[in-house]
Structure 1
Amino acid sequence: MKGPTPAATVLGLLVTAALILAGCSSNSGPTDPDPSSEASTSTSTSTAPPQAEITVDPAGGTDEVMPDDTITVQAVRGEIDDVTVVGAGGDEIDGAVEGQTWTSSARMKPSTKYTVTTTAQGPEGGTTTDKSTFTTHDPEVTATYGIVYSGRTVGVGMPVSIQFDSAVTDEKYRRAIERAVSVETTPQTEGSWGWLDNRQLMWRPKDFWTPGTTVTIDAPITGYQTGEDKWVAQGASGSMTIGRRQMATVDINAHEMTVSQDGQTLKTFPVSSGKPGRETETRSGMKVVIGKQREMTMDSSTIGVDKGEKGYYKVDTDYNVRVTWTGEFVHSAPWSVGAQGSTNVSHGCVNMAPQNAKWFYKHSLVGDPVNFTGSDREFLPTEGIGVWQFSWAQWQKQSALA
């Protein structure tokens, strides 16, 4: 038998070498993947961090929210950065965050749309901003009030006076209002709130003010109730300054007025007070100057005595200093000069000669005390600024919190 030829041997070696090379290439070299094969398939997933989740009470779109309701914003997921609650008029409701919850600390205006804007951080970062709106209750009556004599220099007998245009009908409403209001004085002064009636809340010092005292009043009672479906829509603040210490005394029986400043007598005037009779007798008591009017017409019909009835009068007067709401003034009365100093002939006012009345008018401030003595007809506190008709202990009991 013949062996392989040289050519066949060479060819066999070449084929073997090629197979060996091919095997090495398959195990160690790069290959192009087959897109149709399962082994070559790969996927990539990217997930956004979770956002903050916020709940607001009252919920967005709610109507008839009561002005004294509390607003809460809670972070169910994440943390609260900031909350603002703004009314349609631009007023902002204060509040604070504790833990995961923001809670309002002020009441709202009635009949007002509010926008709640919340900024919060998600649990893994990222900021979320949420907005919602709600509307407060539209009451039957919007209650109004004022701080009387705010911004003025007043006499030492003038109390702080918050006067409501309609009655604060229930003790619980008066208590809530009294807790909300405050007075600050420089120098510090002892005093107490009290209700003169259900429309007049007053802060009276224990004794007459020290001259030069500054008084600041804060009455932030927006959203407080004063009666059945009566809500306050706007808070108020004010101030007043106490002037010099001037006091007047009218001795009804002696027909004399004495005026002093800082304990020194300035003037003594002859006067004529109200003539005898229950409807005309001048009232005794510690009154306070309520206001001044240079000229006016005094008409008895304004106090219930009409034209044609006994006691009717209508007369023009000058230099009028009012001391009661019931029609008592100190004023010029040239027609009664002959009786001044000896006889009481007026309808209840204090009559003075024109020059004397002019002096008293010029030198009087609202809030100056005027003490009347000698009459059996007592001045009732609600007939004027009657806070000094109470002892200190009695006045403290006028507080709704007493």
Structure 2
Amino acid sequence: MVTVAVTAVAAALVMTGCSGGPSSPATDNVAGTPSSGASSTSKSTPTPTPAVVDVTPADGATGVKPTAPVVVKVSSGSLSEVSVKDAQGKAVEGKLANGTWTSKARLAPSTAYTVSVTAAGSDGTPATTTSRFTTLKPAVTATYGILYAGQTVGVGMPASIQFDSAVTTPELRAQVEKLVTVTTSPKTEGHWGWLDNRQLMWRPKDYWQPGTKVTVNAPLTGVQTGDGKWIANDDSASFTVGSSMISTVDIKNHVMTVTRGGQVLRTIPISAGRPGPETETRSGTKVIIRKEGTVIMDSSTIGIKKGEPGYYKIKTQSAMRVTWTGEYLHSAPWSVGSQGSSNVSHGCVNMAPENAAWMYANSKAGDVVKFTGSSRVFQPSEGIGVWQYSYANWVKQSALA
């Protein structure tokens, strides 16, 4: 508690009487005769009451949680102004109501703050006080990214926030979800949901309308994501939805049909993953995660080491990733003889070099690729799997559901 004393000085009043001329002997000291002259009545001046200011967190406090509010109260007076700033001068927003100022924003971890207060005592005389405190240093500073910022993406790309590590509990995921927002132009129905404890995505009810502008705002400074883990930054980003390019891979019939705006652009012979629990291409609705160009396919990344049966290490071109488990669309000159007739790959979609180059040139991240004809099912967290859910079931992926 900081007490601000506001003092005032009271002036003493001195009263002086004087005669108008020489005294008259006839009237001086006559018994029973009132004497003439001035009289006075003294008045006391109330002592001003100092403003008593209470600041929470206390002056000198350390290890303050970023979620702790800054509260400033005053008694025997009134608050005039409150400022809470970090060392760089960034202010913490707050609201004054019923004589109490309360911060509205969370604090940043590992940050020193200065609270400056101007208050007035009972006589209105202003006085100021300053206090300081420091927020806790997290064991881990949690980070995150808003994906596809500034890009033009396909109609299947959700707005995505990816955390570097797990947001560990449903309660913490709900807190994150309450804070993040998506704005779209034109207005689009959609909902947040979690693919897993690291991936938060906002999916439109149906595929995006081409030309839609999407902005994600993530004011997550001071949010806890786990035991000893706190976020130290806000972020925002926008992307634009491009043309509607949707392809269908018929695994059984070894063909991929590519459409744009509902019109067929090309039918491409393909070879998908050969039968087997580890090689069969997964059925389901995927989107192109990213275009990677030249990629070395190495079976050791999926547990088949050099010298073991089935080992391979091949350089591929025009590669576009559709799952995190290693499925790509790519050029495969070595399997041209099987394309259109049989499935011989390790799970990827093989195309002739000219078809793969065309596909690569005309595709973008977020383009939809639907796979049919396989008993092996694509799991949502194996890629950008938001379209594996009906919209009603996607809404249930929300931590607030």
| CA-CA distance at 1:181 after TM superposition | 1.1
| CA-CA distance at 1:390 after TM superposition | 0.6
| CA-CA distance at 1:330 after TM superposition | 0.5
Matches within 5 A, 1:179-218: 179-218=178-217
Residue 119 of structure 1 aligns to which amino acid in structure 2?
T
Q: Residue by residue, what CA displacement relative to the aligned partner does 1:76-133 show, whole Å, maximum 9, x if unpaired?
A: 1322222221123443211100011000111111111111112223332232222111
Structure 1 pair 23/188, CA: closer, same or farther in 2 (3 Å)? closer
| CA-CA distance at 1:258 after TM superposition | 0.9
Residues 1:156 and 2:161 aligned together: no
Q: Residue by residue, what CA displacement relative to the aligned partner does 1:138-160 show, whole Å, maximum 9, x if unpaired?
A: 12111111111122111100011
Instruction: Give, in whole Å, the separation in 2 of the partners of 1:229 and 1:294.
Output: 40
C-alpha contact (below 8 Å) 1:249/1:370 kept by paired residues: yes
Instruction: Give, in whole Å, the separation in 2 of the partners of 1:312 and 1:368.
Output: 31
Instruction: Give, in whole Å, the separation in 1 of the partners of 2:293 and 2:86.
Output: 44
Instruction: Give, in whole Å, the separation in 2 of the partners of 1:192 and 1:136.
Output: 34
| CA-CA distance at 1:23 after TM superposition | 5.3
Which residue of structure 2 lines up, in the alignment, with residue 137 of structure 1?
Answer: 136
SS class of match (1:92): coil
C-alpha contact (below 8 Å) 1:285/1:378 kept by paired residues: yes
Residues 1:356 and 2:355 aligned together: yes
CA RMSD of aligned residues (A): 2.1
C-alpha contact (below 8 Å) 1:170/1:227 kept by paired residues: yes
Q: Residue by residue, what CA displacement relative to the aligned partner does 1:38-64 show, whole Å, maximum 9, x if unpaired?
A: xxxxx9999995553321101110011
| CA-CA distance at 1:238 after TM superposition | 1.3
Residue 154 of structure 1 aligns to which amino acid in structure 2?
V
Residues 1:121 and 2:120 aligned together: yes
Which residue of structure 2 lines up, in the alignment, with residue 296 of structure 1?
Answer: 295
Which residue of structure 1 lines up, in the alignment, with residue 61 of structure 2?
Answer: 62
Q: Tell me whether 74-83 or 347-356 shows the greater mean CA deviation.
A: 74-83
Matches within 5 A, 1:241-320: 241-320=240-319
Which residue of structure 2 lines up, in the alignment, with residue 38 of structure 1?
Answer: none
Q: Residue by residue, what CA displacement relative to the aligned partner does 1:303-345 show, whole Å, maximum 9, x if unpaired?
A: 2221112221101111111100000000111111111111111
Matches within 5 A, 1:37-116: 50-116=49-115
C-alpha contact (below 8 Å) 1:51/1:128 kept by paired residues: no
Instruction: Give, in whole Å, the separation in 1 of the partners of 2:82 and 2:23.
Output: 72
Q: Residue by residue, what CA displacement relative to the aligned partner does 1:287-317 show, whole Å, maximum 9, x if unpaired?
A: 0100011212111112222111222110111
Structure 1 pair 302/91, CA: closer, same or farther in 2 (3 Å)? farther
Structure 1 pair 89/376, CA: closer, same or farther in 2 (3 Å)? farther
Which residue of structure 1 lines up, in the alignment, with residue 366 of structure 2?
Answer: 367
Q: Residue by residue, what CA displacement relative to the aligned partner does 1:162-212 show, whole Å, maximum 9, x if unpaired?
A: 111111111110111111111111111111111100111111111101111
Identical columns (%): 57
Which residue of structure 2 lines up, in the alignment, with residue 174 of structure 1?
Answer: 173
Structure 1 pair 22/257, CA: closer, same or farther in 2 (3 Å)? closer
C-alpha contact (below 8 Å) 1:288/1:368 kept by paired residues: yes
SS class of match (2:387): helix
Which residue of structure 2 lines up, in the alignment, with residue 8 of structure 1?
Answer: none
SS class of match (2:371): strand
| CA-CA distance at 1:249 after TM superposition | 0.7
Structure 1 pair 275/46, CA: closer, same or farther in 2 (3 Å)? same
C-alpha contact (below 8 Å) 1:118/1:131 kept by paired residues: yes
Structure 1 pair 131/22, CA: closer, same or farther in 2 (3 Å)? closer
Instruction: Give, in whole Å, the separation in 2 of the partners of 1:66 and 1:319.
Output: 49
Structure 1 pair 163/78, CA: closer, same or farther in 2 (3 Å)? same
Residues 1:330 and 2:329 aligned together: yes
Unaligned runs of 5+ in 2: 1-20, 29-41
SS class of match (1:93): coil
C-alpha contact (below 8 Å) 1:67/1:110 kept by paired residues: yes
Residue 105 of structure 1 aligns to which amino acid in structure 2?
K
Which residue of structure 2 lines up, in the alignment, with residue 14 of structure 1?
Answer: none
Structure 1 pair 132/221, CA: closer, same or farther in 2 (3 Å)? same
Q: Tell me whether 115-124 or 182-191 shows the greater mean CA deviation.
A: 115-124
- Structure with bigger helix share is 1
C-alpha contact (below 8 Å) 1:53/1:76 kept by paired residues: yes
Instruction: Give, in whole Å, the separation in 1 of the partners of 2:302 and 2:90.
Output: 43
| TM-score, structure 1 normalization | 0.87
Which residue of structure 2 lines up, in the alignment, with residue 35 of structure 1?
Answer: none
Structure 1 pair 170/127, CA: closer, same or farther in 2 (3 Å)? same
C-alpha contact (below 8 Å) 1:51/1:126 kept by paired residues: no
Instruction: Give, in whole Å, the separation in 2 of the partners of 1:307 and 1:288.
Output: 31
SS class of match (1:277): coil
Residues 1:146 and 2:179 aligned together: no
Q: Tell me whether 278-287 or 43-52 shows the greater mean CA deviation.
A: 43-52
